[in-house]
């Protein structure tokens, strides 16, 4: 297809993704280096550096199906249902070599995400999204994810997700170390640095803020191309508006799960630039696109794989609360 991004813009996009990747890895590495050095000295620094390097090497090779299993997602068989037909048409318009697999996630949250590589990708859609948005709006959301696949954004997104999980696991180590310190205070011996414990404890919030801050330009590009793919920028704008009303504030995902807060979204599902700005840009595209809108037949959406309210209850999965 004739992309809205010309050759120069595509090159700029690739360079920006590279810089973002380096900033993400460097920022999280710095957080971990400070904490592990305070706790275990040069040995801890060497171990954390080795683990980060291993994660960077492993991130691109993780199969999309393995990521989907983390969310208990089920694969939607390719057929004549509306979602499959919409994804088929989007893949054709984007000229993807391989049509992404579609997965359904048993979650009451409203979201979708893509994972994998352009040659082998998967898109996960939550039950809550299907039951809340119209098919026109869902088409815009799917087009947004197809755009991420087409622009090869998934490498950074997957890397960010894996490193965020790693940091979360280490943050639970901080809680264990704090218990040892409290017990040690009874005998007058504090074995671990309180500063290191605090750094580890707040590391997930810091890495999440870094992840959010790096996503702005990529999300605007994906919105732009999604509008071109569907020929209907107002459909995606309507979806974003509705998601903004139903979802909580982003800072709720930066703190630990407690009884009074909602279940946090997985890090792959975190939102991006201000929704009002994204909607404003999409509204400006109305009437200026060359492609005809994708034809959808609105119909009530029910579970395609038999998920019900019980199956979507929150359940505990290390290292946090998940749907």
95 is catalytic: no
The conformational region for residue 215 under phi > 0 = left, psi -120 to 50 = alpha, else beta, is alpha
* Closest among 2, 278, 5, 17 to 152, alpha carbons compared: 17
Question: Which stretches of the chain are DSSP H helices?
Answer: 7-58, 64-70, 82-94, 127-132, 135-150, 154-185, 194-213, 216-230, 233-246, 275-285
- H/E stretch holding 123 reads strand 120-126
- Spatial distance between the Cα atoms of 291 and 283, rounded to a whole number of angstroms: 16
Assign 321 to helix, strand or coil: strand
- Spatial distance between the Cα atoms of 270 and 280, rounded to a whole number of angstroms: 20
Assign 217 to helix, strand or coil: helix
For Cα atoms 190, 29, 159, give the angle at the middle one, nearest 5 degrees: 130
Alpha-carbon dihedral sign for residues 182, 184, 186, 188: negative
Contacts (Cβ under 8 Å, ≥6 apart) of 5? 13, 151, 221, 224, 225
Contact 24, 210 (CB under 8 A): yes
Name the burial class of residue 70, with classes exposed (0-12), middle (13-18) and buried (19+) by CB atoms within 10 angstroms of its CB: middle
Catalytic residue among 101, 145, 219, 225: 145
Instruction: Catalogue the active-site residues.
Output: 145
């Amino acid at each position: 297809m004739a992309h809205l991004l010309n050759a120069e813009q595509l090159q700029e996009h690739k360079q920006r993704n590279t810089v973002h990747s380096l900033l993400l890895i460097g920022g999280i590495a710095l957080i971990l280096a400070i904490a592990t050095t305070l706790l275990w000295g040069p040995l801890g620094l060497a171990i954390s550096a080795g683990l980060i390097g291993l994660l960077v090497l492993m991130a691109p090779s993780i199969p999309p199906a393995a990521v989907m299993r983390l969310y208990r997602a089920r694969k939607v068989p390719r057929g004549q249902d509306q979602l499959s037909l919409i994804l088929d048409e989007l893949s054709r318009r984007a000229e993807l070599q391989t049509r992404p697999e579609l997965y359904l996630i048993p979650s009451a949250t409203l979201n979708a995400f893509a994972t994998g590589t352009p040659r082998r990708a998967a898109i996960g859609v939550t039950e809550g999204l299907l039951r809340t948005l119209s098919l026109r709006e869902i088409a815009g959301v799917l087009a947004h994810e197809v755009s991420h696949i087409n622009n090869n954004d998934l490498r950074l997104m997957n890397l960010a997700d894996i490193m965020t999980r790693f940091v979360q696991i280490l943050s639970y180590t901080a809680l264990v170390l704090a218990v040892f310190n409290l017990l040690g205070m009874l005998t007058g011996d504090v074995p671990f640095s309180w500063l290191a414990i605090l750094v580890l404890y707040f590391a997930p919030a810091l890495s999440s803020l870094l992840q959010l801050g790096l996503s702005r330009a990529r999300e605007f590009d994906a919105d732009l191309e999604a509008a071109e793919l569907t020929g209907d920028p107002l459909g995606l704008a309507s979806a974003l508006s509705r998601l903004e009303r139903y979802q909580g504030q982003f800072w709720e995902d930066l703190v630990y799960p407690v009884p009074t807060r909602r279940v946090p979204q997985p890090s792959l599902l975190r939102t991006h630039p201000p929704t009002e700005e994204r909607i404003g840009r999409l509204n400006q595209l109305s009437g200026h696109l060359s492609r005809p809108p994708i034809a959808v037949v609105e119909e009530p959406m029910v579970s395609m794989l038999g998920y019900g309210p019980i199956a979507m209850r929150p359940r505990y999965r290390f290292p946090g609360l998940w749907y």
